[in-house]
Structure 1
Amino acid sequence: MLDAWRLAVGTLTAIPARPPTTVDRRRASAAMVLAPAAVLPLGAAVTCVALAGHWLQLPVLVIALLAIGAVTLGNRAFHLDGLSDTVDGLAASYDRERSLLVMKSGTSGPAGVVAIVLVLGIQVAGLASLLSLPDWWQAAILAGIAVCASRAALVVCCARGVPAARADGLGSTYTQTVPVPVTVSVWALSAVVLAVTGAWAGLEWWRGALAAFVALAAVLAVVARTTRRFGGVTGDVFGASIEVALAAILVALT
């Protein structure tokens, strides 16, 4: 479990972590399950930025921009890079090999840039609306929880039955390692935590559970589409799924 924790923290955050002694599929599976907990520092950063911004009486939109910026800095924009590459691959061609080649190039095309702008815009707008709730400090904590819950997208990407698009890619170590019952359990727990925290922040009790359901549906759509087009998922799809999940959760909460 220690190796899995180091793998999760080192992969999903910019926090310095000792490398795991061994990386295998069993540890990769555990790392994906631990992903929501591994990014607790990023969730805490969002909460702290939101609280500090309110104390400084900054406009709520500025606070939301700074908070999303903190998350992006905290993961080296790794997931946004995956979002850009995935959308560029989907827009490039209906030829699988051509699409995978575009994704591997590392450059961002027009479709990828637009995707980043739209998804970041949705995240910022959703967070700004959430932070406008009367119970603002509870809403700040809920925003941090939302960041953590969005990382549950990874267990869907790595669920058994979801193939890897490349045999030699980053995703090949992680794909098909998480049992489906574990995937369901992680999302059920995310829904409960979001529902309880949302109710504490003044939302309807069902709003958090709905947010988890909407995010899960969005991630399933991304995974289904990329599997049809690429023959499976890649590390880029992992990042895209996380960013889409966070946007879906924040919109549903508002």
Structure 2
Amino acid sequence: MTERAGRWPAGARLAMTTLTVLPLRAGRVDRHSAAVAMAGAPLVGLALGAVLAVAARVLTAAGLAPVPVAAVLVALLALLTRGLHLDGLADTFDGLGSYAPPERALAILKSPEAGPLGVSAIAVTLLVDAAALSALVARHGWLLIAVAVAVGRFGISLCCARPVPAARPDGLGALVAGTVPVPVCGAWALVLAVLAGLGGQLSPGSGWTDWLRGVLAVLLAGAAAGLLARQCVRRFGGVTGDVLGAACELATAVALLVLCAG
């Protein structure tokens, strides 16, 4: 019983050290703590999103226009996550775009260099994020900003759901792949959809369509992360830490796009 209870703080520390810039000691690192960490990824996303929402509200109250506020938020999120997810996005798209066999594609993922496709993926993603965030800031959609960041981390949980395999026998992918039960992902989808719908209701001129938009944001973002994971399993043989970062960035961008519509 004591060992099982110890998984929760170990998993929480692992989630914070893996998904944020906080220099916490990871503590025990094994499949059990990894399961807690990856299942709790959306909760870390809510915390990161709350920081962004508070920053957006303060900057707006100080008289800053929505576009520069959005630029600050994009930079702040990259800082809070050490840019690791963006790095994973670039590496994953370079690997997928190489058309190389799995062994060579995985070597491309491990390379510290970013190719033209990877750089393009980062540029497009940041442009989409900034544009969507500026629209949400203009509407004072503070809760929607926090939810979108959480939905991005929900993409990580989906890529770690059973029975998604790891591409390598070592590394972060091997540690976390297949650790998150599918019902946990379903529960997070429901929670995030409700929060997204509630966030829409808090915006000016809200209506019943905001609830539908919240559900669509979670479903489409989850579908995007799932399709990416499926493609990576087909091309690489499974997921890696880079794939998790790419899924996070892709799901965040899709969620922001849907939530800012209307």
Q: TM range, normalised to the smaller chain? A: over 0.9
Work out whether 1:72 is the aligned partner of 2:78: yes
Gaps of 5+ in 1: none
- The yes-or-no answer on 1:25 pairing with 2:40 is no
Deviates more, 1:201-210 or 1:106-115: 201-210
1:90 aligned residue: 96
Aligned pair partner of 1:12 in 19, 39, 48: 19
Question: What is the aligned partner in structure 1 of residue 179 from structure 2?
Answer: 177
Which residue of the partner structure matches residue 205 of structure 1? 211
Residue 57 in 1 paired to residue 63 in 2? yes
2:248 aligned partner, one-letter code? I
Question: How many angstroms does 1:45 deviate by?
Answer: 2.2
Deviation at 1:249, TM superposition (A): 0.5
Q: Take 1:31 and 1:195, find their aligned partners in 2: how far apart are those partners?
A: 26
**Per-residue deviation, 1:145:** 2.4
Of 88, 105, 125, which aligns to 2:111? Answer: 105
What is the Cα deviation at residue 196 of structure 1? 1.8
**2:4 is the counterpart of 1:2:** no
- In 2, are the aligned partners of 1:13 and 1:39 still within 8 Å (CA)? no
Q: Which amino acid aligns with 1:66?
A: V
Is 2:143 aligned against 1:141? Answer: yes
Partner Cα distance (1:213, 1:200) in 2: 21
What is the aligned partner in structure 1 of residue 190 from structure 2?
Answer: 188
Structure 1 counterpart SS, 2:186 = helix
How far off its partner does 1:169 sit?
Answer: 2.3
Once residues 75 and 21 of structure 2 are traced to their aligned partners in structure 1, the CA distance between those partners, rounded to angstroms, is: 13
Residue 175 of structure 2 corresponds to residue 168 of structure 1: no
Cα distance in 1 for residues equivalent to 2:46 and 2:133:
17
Counterpart residue identity of residue 172, structure 1 = A
Provide the residue aligned with 2:243 in structure 1. Answer: 237
Q: Aligned partners of 1:198 and 1:80: how far apart in 2?
A: 28
Query: Which residue number corresponds to residue 159 of structure 2?
Result: 157
Check conservation: 2:156, 2:247, Cα contact below 8 A.
yes
Aligned residues of 1:43 and 1:143 also touching (Cα < 8 A): yes
Q: Count residues with an aligned counterpart.
A: 249
Moved more, 173-182 or 40-49: 40-49
The CA deviation at 1:251 is 0.3
Shift of 1:201: 2.4
Q: Name segments (4+ residues, structure 1) moved above 4 Å.
A: none
RMSD: 1.3
For structure 2, the residue ranges without an aligned partner over 5 or more in a row are 1-7
- Shifted more, 145-154 versus 156-165: the winner is 145-154
Q: Deviations over 1:210-232 (max 9, x none)?
A: 11111011111111111111111
Distance of 2:215 and 2:48 partners within structure 1: 22
Q: Secondary structure at the match of 2:211?
A: coil
Distance 2:257 2:36 in 1: 29
Question: Deviation of residue 93 (structure 1)?
Answer: 2.4
SS of equivalent residue, structure 2 residue 177: coil
Report the AA paired with residue 200 of structure 2. G
1:141 deviates by 2.9
1:17-59 CA distance string (max 9 Å, x none): 2322x11111111111111222444212211221122122222
Matched position secondary structure for 1:152:
helix
Cα deviation, residue 189, structure 1: 1.6
